[in-house]
C-alpha cells in the first residue's frame, strides 16, 4: 500500500497542477474558474444522477486503461484497443442476432464470451507478429484498427443493418415491449439496486458492466502481482534478457500480454451492446482505446490508479456539457484541453524522475 501511494503522488501532483493551469486558462478567456470547477464537481459528483453518469462514462475507460496497462507491464504499447473493442462489440451483437430464439441468459453468456474472445484474438495477432517476426506492435495494432473498422462497417452495412435505417447500426438484439426490456441484455444499476430498496434513477445507463470493471481491476492486480505468470510477464517488461535467463519465454509472454490486453478491451463491447444500446452502433466509441492510454499513464499502470484515473476522466466527460451551457466563454472543449494538460504534466513527472535517477547515479559514481 505504501508503494502504491508513493507511485500515485506524482500523478496527483500532475492533476492538481493541471487544474490550476486549467483555471488560469478560464480566467484568461474572461470567465470564472470558481464557477467552472463548481460546475465540474456538482455535475459529476453532486447528485445520484451525476455520479451514475460519471461511473458510466468511466466504465469503458477502466477496461481500456487496464488493457493498455497490461501491455505496458510487458514492455508493449497496445495502440489497437480501439479496433479490439470495435470487433468485440460487433461480435457481441452478432451472437444476439444469429441466436434470436435461444434463452436470453445463455445468449448473454455466449455474447460476453464472443466479445472477450474477439478482442483477445484481434490483439493476439500483433502479439504473434511481434514475438515471431519482431514486427513493432505500435505499427501492427494501428493497422489492425483500420482493418477492424472496415470489416465491421462492411458487415453492418450489407448484412446486419435494418432495411431503411439511415444510421449505420445493426438490428437490435433487445427491445422495449409494453414498458419491459426483452431480449439478451445485462441489468442496469436501477434493476440491480431495486431489490435492496435503493431507488437508483432508471434513466441512468450505468449497468452491470461497471461491476465487471471493478472485478477486472481486482483480477488484473492478482494476476500481475500474485501469480507466477504475472511475475514473468512483468519481468519480460523490465528486462527481457534477464527474464529469459531466468527461464521465462519472451515470445509466450508477449502473446499472452497482448491477448489479455485485447480481452480487457473487448469488455467495452459488453457494456455498449448488452448494457446500453442493445445493438452494434458504428462510431459508438468516443476514442476509448486511445483515451485508455492516458488513463493507464495517469494511473501508473496499476489497477487502483487506473480506476481512479478513469473516474476522473469520466467526471470530466460528464461535466463538459454543463460547463458549456452555464458559462459565457468556456466551451466543452475545455475538458479536452484539461485532459491534455494532465497528460503533459504526468509525462513531465516521468521525465523528472528519470532525471533525478541519473543525477543520483552520477553523484554516486563521483
Structural domain that includes position 275: 48-331
CATH number of the domain to which 131 belongs: 1.10.3470
The runs of H, that is alpha helices, within the chain are 2-28, 33-45, 48-73, 81-98, 104-133, 137-158, 189-193, 208-226, 228-238, 240-245, 250-269, 288-298, 303-326, 333-365
Please indicate, yes or no, if residue 31 is contained in any of the structural domains.
no
C-alpha cell at 130: 511481434
Q: Is 41 domain-assigned?
A: no
C-alpha torsion 252→291→24→326, nearest 10: -160
Q: Give me the mean pLDDT over the 357-366 stretch.
A: 59
Backbone phi, psi, residue 101, to 5°: -100, -5
Tell me the sheet residues that pair with 281. Answer: 169
| This prediction's pTM | 0.93
Mean pLDDT confidence for 103-131: 97
Does residue 36 belong to any structural domain of this protein?
no
Taking alpha carbons only, the member of 72, 6, 5, 10 closest to residue 353 is 10
Q: Identify whether 283 is part of a domain.
A: yes
**What percent of the chain is predicted at pLDDT more than 90?**
80
State pLDDT tens for residues 273-286. 999 999 999 999 99
Q: Distance between CA 325 and CA 335 in Å, rounded?
A: 13
Q: CA 216, CA 342: separation in Å to the nearest integer? A: 25
The per-residue b/e assignment along 50-63, b for 16 or more CB within 10 angstroms, e otherwise, is bbbbbbbbbbbbbb
Instruction: Please indicate, yes or no, if residue 322 is contained in any of the structural domains.
Output: yes
Task: Name the average pLDDT for the chain.
Answer: 92
Domain assignment of residue 19, yes or no = no
Residue 14, pLDDT > 90, answer no
Residue 358 pLDDT > 90: no
C-alpha 112/C-alpha 114 separation (Å) is 5
Coil, helix or strand at residue 238: helix
Rounded to an integer, the average pLDDT of 72-84 is 96
Question: How would you classify residue 171: left for phi > 0, otherwise alpha for psi between -120 and 50, otherwise beta?
Answer: beta
Which among 125, 149, 119, 144 has a CA at the least distance from the CA of 270?
Answer: 119
198 exposure class (CB count in 10 Å sphere: 0-12, 13-18, 19+): exposed
Q: Give pLDDT tens digits for 83-112.
A: 999 999 999 999 999 999 999 999 999 999
pLDDT at 351 over 60: no
| Residues β-bridged to residue 207 | 188
Q: CB of 120 within 8 A of CB of 259?
A: yes
Structure confidence by residue, pLDDT tens digits, 193-241: 999 999 999 999 999 999 999 999 999 999 999 999 999 999 999 999 9
Residue 43 resides in a domain:
no
- 128 belongs to a structural domain: yes
The count of structural domains within the chain is 1
Nearest CA to 100 out of 31, 172, 152, 205 is that of 172
Q: Choose among 104, 151, 52, 117: nearest CA to 278.
A: 104
**Residue labelled with grid coordinates 474477439:** 118
Task: Tell whether the model's pLDDT for residue 179 goes beyond 80.
Answer: no
For residue 271, CA distances in Å to 3, 116, 279, 345 come to 32, 12, 11, 31
Q: How confident is the model at residue 355 (pLDDT cuts 50, 70, 90)?
A: low
Amino acid at each position: 500500500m505504501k508503494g502504491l501511494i508513493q507511485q500515485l503522488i506524482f500523478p496527483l501532483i500532475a492533476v492538481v497542477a493541471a487544474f490550476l493551469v486549467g483555471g488560469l486558462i478560464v480566467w484568461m478567456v474572461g470567465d470564472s474558474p470558481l464557477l467552472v470547477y463548481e460546475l465540474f464537481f456538482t455535475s459529476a459528483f453532486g447528485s445520484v444522477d451525476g455520479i451514475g453518469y460519471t461511473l458510466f462514462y468511466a466504465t469503458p475507460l477502466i477496461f481500456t486503461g487496464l488493457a493498455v496497462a497490461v501491455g505496458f507491464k510487458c514492455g508493449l504499447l497496445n495502440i489497437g484497443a480501439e479496433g479490439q473493442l470495435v470487433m468485440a462489440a460487433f461480435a457481441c451483437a452478432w451472437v444476439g442476432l444469429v441466436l434470436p430464439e435461444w434463452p436470453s441468459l445463455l445468449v448473454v453468456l455466449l455474447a460476453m464470451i464472443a466479445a472477450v474472445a474477439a478482442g483477445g484474438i484481434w490483439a493476439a495477432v500483433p502479439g504473434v507478429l511481434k514475438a515471431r517476426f519482431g514486427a513493432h506492435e505500435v505499427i501492427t495494432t494501428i493497422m489492425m484498427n483500420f482493418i477492424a473498422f472496415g470489416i465491421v462497417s462492411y458487415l453492418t452495412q450489407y448484412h446486419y443493418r435494418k432495411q431503411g435505417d439511415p444510421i449505420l447500426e445493426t438490428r437490435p438484439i433487445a427491445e422495449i415491449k409494453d414498458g419491459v426490456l426483452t431480449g439478451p441484455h445485462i441489468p442496469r444499476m436501477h434493476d440491480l439496486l431495486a431489490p435492496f430498496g435503493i431507488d437508483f434513477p432508471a434513466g441512468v445507463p450505468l449497468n452491470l458492466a461497471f461491476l465487471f470493471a471493478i472485478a477486472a481491476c481486482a483480477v488484473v492486480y492478482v494476476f500481475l502481482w500474485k501469480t507466477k505468470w504475472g511475475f514473468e510477464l512483468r519481468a519480460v517488461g523490465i528486462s527481457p534478457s534477464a527474464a529469459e535467463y531466468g527461464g521465462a519465454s519472451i515470445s509466450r509472454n508477449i502473446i499472452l500480454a497482448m491477448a489479455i490486453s485485447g480481452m480487457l478491451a473487448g469488455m467495452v463491447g459488453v457494456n455498449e451492446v448488452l448494457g446500453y444500446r442493445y445493438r452494434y452502433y458504428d462510431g459508438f466509441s468516443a476514442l476509448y482505446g486511445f483515451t485508455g492510454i492516458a488513463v493507464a499513464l495517469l494511473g501508473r499502470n496499476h489497477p487502483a490508479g487506473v480506476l481512479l484515473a478513469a473516474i476522473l476522466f469520466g467526471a470530466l466527460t460528464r461535466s463538459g456539457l454543463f460547463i458549456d451551457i452555464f458559462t459565457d466563454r468556456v466551451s466543452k472543449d475545455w475538458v479536452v484541453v484539461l485532459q491534455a494538460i494532465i497528460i503533459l504534466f504526468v509525462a513531465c513527472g516521468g521525465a523528472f524522475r528519470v532525471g533525478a535517477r541519473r543525477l543520483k547515479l552520477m553523484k554516486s559514481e563521483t
